[in-house]
Amino acid sequence: MYGGNYIKEGNDSAKNTCLIFSPKEEDSVGALSRYLKLFAEHEVNLLYIESRSSLRQANVYEFMVECASGGDLGTVIENLREQSSYFSIITRNHKDNMGTVPWFPRRIRDLDKFANQILSYGAELDSDHPGFTDPVYRQRRKYFADLAYNYKHGQPIPRVEYTKEEIETWGVIFKNLMKLYPKYACKEHNHVFPLLIENCGYREDNIPQLEDISNFLKDCTGFTLRPVAGLLSSRDFLAGLAFRVFHCTQYIRHSSKPLYTPEPDICHEVLGHVPLFADPSFAQFCQVVGMASLGAPDEYIEKLATVYISIIFHCVIHEVTSNYIVQLKIYLPQCFWFTVEFGLCRQNGELKAYGAGLLSSFGELEYCLSGKPELRAFEPAKTALQKYPITEYQPVYFVAEDFEDAKQKMIKFAESIPRKFGVRYDPYTQSINIIDSKHQIEDLVYNVNQEVQILMDALRKLKQNLYLHVGYVRSSQIFIPSFTIVTCGNSYCLIYVNSLLDMFIAIWIIHRMGGSIAQSLSQIDTLYTYARKYTLFSKNPALLTISGPANKENNSQTFSSECDKSIKEGNGTLKRMTTIKQSNKQ
């Protein structure tokens, strides 16, 4: 199974390789002994062996072995590929192993395995850090690092008694930001912030506790916080988002420079990041990006990190110094630079700055909206190629039309990742399901159909004269949703769908528009680029016509059967539409 969920505790797992394989059906008896002999012959030491039922296919089992470094592992892998019906490699050291799948967490508690693998800072500080020569501050940072290192999933986040000096530093930042938020922060941020004040103790004289914030977010969107000692790698950080977990620091910046920090601190986290995690739409987007990162190649992880960060409307105001900008250039790709730091967006028809670099520099804030610099539409692939100066105003700024527009572009960007399997988050077990077999897809379709029935039952109880028929295309013995028919009044709407999400959105829009299909299609056309994948059947002579009462048992059923017939007879939208039109003439 891709992305196995096991890393042997106490070993240097970054150097070990995990192999997962299933024996061929004719070789199932005594297969393990033959496999073990293969490892012994090539002097490969095994640290862990596990046999288990396969989730890919019923009545099939598989083996998972963790191999230590050394020996002729390459020959073992070649032999296993030939002798197994299924074979996969998972390793932390995937850069040097072509064809492997990078390890990723399968259960939420697996986040414990990498939460302490930070890239910088933590208890140690660089010589140019404001607190480097302050022994009291360094000791305090060690205290916070120890809290994060000892934390395990499921435990309450330790409450911290912040010092008077730390609270005063927080107060300076909080007071300044509260003046700027109404004018400069995005509407999503401003909507949630009063709730954080009311429920989580956001005050000038109080630093909120991560445990209180985490509980608040969980009630809002299911997101939770997890303490971390410093910066994680992009891969590990994004993996946390797949489980709706945000890794969050608890320490605060040095009091000598309250408006500057060379690293993310609690001010940055809870004032800049947290408010948007309480927004359902943004929370869903973050999880989509996190899911896309699981098992993705390194080059796409970098792009996904760009994708994720570029969508966040950071509202933390800080003093931008040359040192800070140089550090940003080390860690951040271009999309980050032109969005989080220097991004513009449109809200209520006006250009607004949401980049932290702009909101912290009155001179550049005025300059960017003066008409002097060049403004370009925000496109992730193009933005990532733009060069930027670090010692002068930016000659080019990128503008996102609105929050939804930017998110849709990012989600589409994430779909380009080459991966041989699909992933699905199971909220009941807080685990990741790997989807790479017919059996798993059939189970998924069954579960989704149950959700469709719940949706339609709810619509009927709302007394909407609205009915649904879902058509399927049979491909390799698997039924995949292909189109949706919604009937209301004397109109029919046939929507060709790329995904079940398309179908849900279409139904929801029609319901929201009071059953008016014509108005609904206008809304769909406005919101989604796949709008041309529908056809309206009504009395409009400019369109194909099927008229008559929308009776669930009669006309809509006949209409549905005609659609089913046309789907089975051939592929392609043109043939489907031709068949339906001919049946109407008859």
Q: Any idea which residues carry the catalytic annotation?
A: 268, 273, 341, 360
Euclidean distance between CA atoms 205 and 218, whole angstroms: 25
Task: Give Cα separations from 74 to 3, 71, 265, 305 (angstroms).
Answer: 20, 9, 44, 32
Which one-letter DSSP state was computed for residue 339?
I
Euclidean distance between CA atoms 345 and 355, whole angstroms: 9
Euclidean distance between CA atoms 67 and 73, whole angstroms: 8
Instruction: Kindly list the strands in the beta sheet with 84-91, ordered across the sheet, starting from the edge strand earlier in the chain.
Output: 46-53, 61-67, 17-23, 84-91, 101-102
The position carrying tokens 């997890």 is 226
Whether the Cβ atoms of residue 238 and residue 290 lie closer than 8 Å to each other:
yes
Q: Which residues of 270-293 are buried (b: 16+ CB within 10 A; e: fewer)?
A: bbbbbbbbbbeebbebbbbbbbbb
Q: How many other C-beta atoms are found inside a 10 Å radius of the C-beta of residue 194?
A: 10
CB-based contacts of 386: which residues, under 8 Å, 6+ apart? 334, 338, 396, 398
Euclidean distance between CA atoms 202 and 206, whole angstroms: 7
Q: Which tokens in the block code for residue 271?
A: 């004032």
Euclidean distance between CA atoms 118 and 141, whole angstroms: 14
Sign for the pseudo-dihedral over CA of 67, 73, 76, 77: positive
Give the distance from CA 406 to its chain's centroid: 14
Euclidean distance between CA atoms 366 and 251, whole angstroms: 33
β-pair partners for 22: 86
The position carrying tokens 């309480």 is 278
Give the distance from CA 341 to its chain's centroid: 21
Q: Which tokens in the block code for residue 282?
A: 């943004």
Q: Do the annotations mark residue 273 as ligand-binding?
A: yes
The position carrying tokens 């797992």 is 13
Q: Give the amino acid at 242.
A: A
Helix (H), strand (E), coil (C) string for 273-327: HHHHHCCHHHHHHHHHHHHHHCCCCHHHHHHHHHHHHHHCCCCCCCCCCHHHHHH
Dihedrals phi, psi of 87, to nearest 5 degrees? -150, 140
H helix and E strand count, the chain: 22, 17
Of the candidates 241, 294, 259, 274, the one whose C-alpha atom is nearest the C-alpha of residue 105 is 294
Q: Do the annotations mark residue 94 as ligand-binding?
A: no
Q: Do the annotations mark residue 268 as ligand-binding?
A: yes
β-pair partners for 61: 53
Q: How many other C-beta atoms are found inside a 10 Å radius of the C-beta of residue 184?
A: 19
Euclidean distance between CA atoms 517 and 521, whole angstroms: 6
The position carrying tokens 């994720």 is 308
Binding residues: 268, 273, 341
Binding residues for Fe cation: 268, 273, 341
